[in-house]
Chains A and B, each alone.
Chain A
Amino acid sequence: MADPELHVKINSLICEGTAYCVRINPDVFGIGTDGLGEVLVDRPAPEFEDSLEEAATLCPTRAITY
């Protein structure tokens, strides 16, 4: 991986606010006032990597990168 640090982003173009990421990882993701996903911690500690992978793969619209 080019950058060993995690850098979480939600692409608001394709996020549909299902909040599936929040169910997987409520410390990192929330839902903003616009009803779409929101990154609460954009540089989480490395131990979050596995759960971020799960959230990114499970996201129905695949809006998450990290």
Chain B
Amino acid sequence: METIRDMEPPPHIIGIKHFVDYKTVDEILKSKNFRQGSHQESQPFFGDSLLTIDHGEHFERRRLEAPLFRKEALEYYEREELLPLISSSLEECEQNRGADGLVRADLCLLVRNMLARISAVTTGIDGVDTPERTDAFRTYVEQLGTGATVEWSTEDHGEVIERILAIRQGFVEEFYGPSVERRCELIDQFRAGQISEDDLPRDLLTLMYLHWNEDWDDELPLREATLYTVASSQTTTHAVPHMMMHLHEWFEVHPEDYEKRFDREFLKRAGHEAIRLHLPSPALLRIALEDVTLSNGIEIAEGERVACLFTPANRDTSVFGDDAKSFDPYREVPDVKPWGFAFGGGEHTCIGRTLVTGLSARTDGDEGTDGTLVNIALALFGAGIELDPEEMPAFTELSYHDAYGRFPVILRDL
């Protein structure tokens, strides 16, 4: 099958100025003359969340949330939360042993479950602990994700928003409400001197309620939590199957590299290549704050919305070489980030990047963590992952996202 597709821009992008070359996309994302232009329709889900605010307000919000991504916090998540969650998710797969003695799984679903749990921990949603509760939470996050990315939906957008708002009520009653209540009680105990700050959970909701800002509306933490759960789970769940597919193809052509499936540095590079080639959405949108003339001479009027098509930009041969459209874990690109624009650029650069790539990526010196991609890949190779010859992976048809919808695998060593 063709695993690296040319992604056609969705219809509503065709009508606005869009850019496909690395240099211009870089210029726009870094420029202070533009603001966030995505998620206009999905305001009920993401409105006023970190992703949709800009400049001074954005700086303050990021400053508030940055402690979640301190080095110690990243080390804690990886050791105390991520690794046990990966192991327990794989153990649960063993219940699906077939008559032939083999464990089969859908990698999309398996990774979605792993990521649902870790995203619940970082966001501050309790009770995502049994397979049933994980399933329920994951389903909510996926539905909220559909609402939050309604711009890219192939269904009627108004109907999607109405349907998902009703579903969100269930999420609030079942998960969000009780989690907030527990955090507020703990914060009260902390303020009364009954517990120390170290006894408070290290998550987004605790931070927000601990440092409440009178300018916020009561629902803002819900929308911020929606952003965190959706942004942290759907992106990585899209990335892992791509990474495993590319490694599968790579090892077929380069069998001498198969032993590197447990080599963290090799896996890290493979992860960077996978996310460089497969971006989490079709485009990053920006709105000009004033009349702008780009360095290529193109003029953008104040208030005009432009689209940065970061898939073609991340495959720009003038930056990544003549074979930019292929997967090469040994690729060396001296002057740019190995993942290109996978995490966006400028102010809105993904706040969770270090959770994904670890802090020990080429760009972070030699300290820190390995990140979710490497840890999940290591665990999958440890479980003896193979493609299931009876059913090939298939891409999703439900949206314009570059993602697998089904990825059947055998976990031979479980």
- Write the residues of chain A forming the contact surface with B, with a CB cutoff of 8 angstroms: 11, 13-14, 16-18, 20, 23-24, 35, 53-54, 57-58, 60-63, 65
- Please state if A16 and B29 are interface contacts (CB–CB under 8 Å): yes
- Please state if A61 and B67 are interface contacts (CB–CB under 8 Å): no
Output the least CB separation between A60 and chain B (Å): 4
- Please state if B30 and A14 are interface contacts (CB–CB under 8 Å): no
B127 at the interface (CB under 8 A from A): no
Residues on the A chain within 8 Å of B359, using CB: 62
B395 at the interface (CB under 8 A from A): no
Within 8 A of A (CB), among B229-284: none
Partner pick for B63 among A13, A18, A58, CB 8 A cutoff: A58
- Please state if A13 and B29 are interface contacts (CB–CB under 8 Å): no
- Please state if B365 and A60 are interface contacts (CB–CB under 8 Å): no
**Interface pairs A-B: 3 shortest CB-CB:** A60-B349, A58-B66, A57-B66
Partner pick for B59 among A14, A23, A53, A61, CB 8 A cutoff: A23
For chain B, the bracket of interface size reads: 20 to 34
Residues on the A chain within 8 Å of B70, using CB: 53, 57
- Please state if B59 and A20 are interface contacts (CB–CB under 8 Å): yes
Partner pick for B345 among A16, A23, A24, CB 8 A cutoff: A16
Partner pick for B354 among A11, A53, A62, CB 8 A cutoff: A62
Output the least CB separation between A22 and chain B (Å): 11
Residue-by-residue, is B62-102 near A (CB-CB < 8 Å gives 1, otherwise 0)? 11001101110000000000000000000000000000000
Output the least CB separation between B26 and chain A (Å): 9
Output the least CB separation between B372 and chain A (Å): 16
- Please state if B345 and A65 are interface contacts (CB–CB under 8 Å): no
B178 at the interface (CB under 8 A from A): no
- Please state if A60 and B351 are interface contacts (CB–CB under 8 Å): yes
Output the least CB separation between B138 and chain A (Å): 28
- Please state if A20 and B62 are interface contacts (CB–CB under 8 Å): yes
Q: A14-B363, A20-B59 are in contact. Are A54 and B335 (CB under 8 A)?
A: no
Residues on the A chain within 8 Å of B69, using CB: 57
Q: Which of B29, B337, B349, B364 has the most CB of A within 10 A?
A: B349
Residues on the A chain within 8 Å of B346, using CB: 16, 18, 60
Q: A18-B347, A57-B69, A61-B349 are in contact. Are A13 and B336 (CB under 8 A)?
A: yes
Residues on the A chain within 8 Å of B35, using CB: none
Report the Cα distance A9→B97, complex, angstroms.
52
Q: A11-B363, A14-B363, A18-B347 are in contact. Are A62 and B67 (CB under 8 A)?
A: no
- Please state if A13 and B349 are interface contacts (CB–CB under 8 Å): no
Residues on the A chain within 8 Å of B67, using CB: 57
Report the Cα distance A53→B71, complex, angstroms.
9
Residues on the A chain within 8 Å of B348, using CB: 60
Output the least CB separation between A49 and chain B (Å): 13
Residues on the B chain within 8 Å of A62, using CB: 353-354, 359, 363-364
- Please state if A16 and B30 are interface contacts (CB–CB under 8 Å): yes
Within 8 A of A (CB), among B308-344: 335-337
- Please state if A60 and B62 are interface contacts (CB–CB under 8 Å): yes
B67, closest chain A residue (CB): A57
17 extra A-B contacts, CB within 8 A, seeds A20-B62, A63-B363: A13-B336, A13-B363, A14-B337, A16-B346, A16-B349, A20-B59, A20-B347, A23-B59, A24-B63, A35-B30, A54-B63, A54-B66, A57-B66, A58-B66, A60-B346, A60-B348, A62-B354
Within 8 A of A (CB), among B1-47: 29-30
Output the least CB separation between A7 and chain B (Å): 11
Report the Cα distance A16→B344, complex, angstroms.
11
Q: A20-B59, A53-B70, A57-B69 are in contact. Are A13 and B354 (CB under 8 A)?
A: no
Provide a sorted-by-A list of 5 A–B residue pairs whose CB atoms are within 8 angstroms.
A20-B347, A58-B63, A61-B353, A62-B364, A65-B365
Residues on the B chain within 8 Å of A24, using CB: 63
Residues on the A chain within 8 Å of B345, using CB: 16
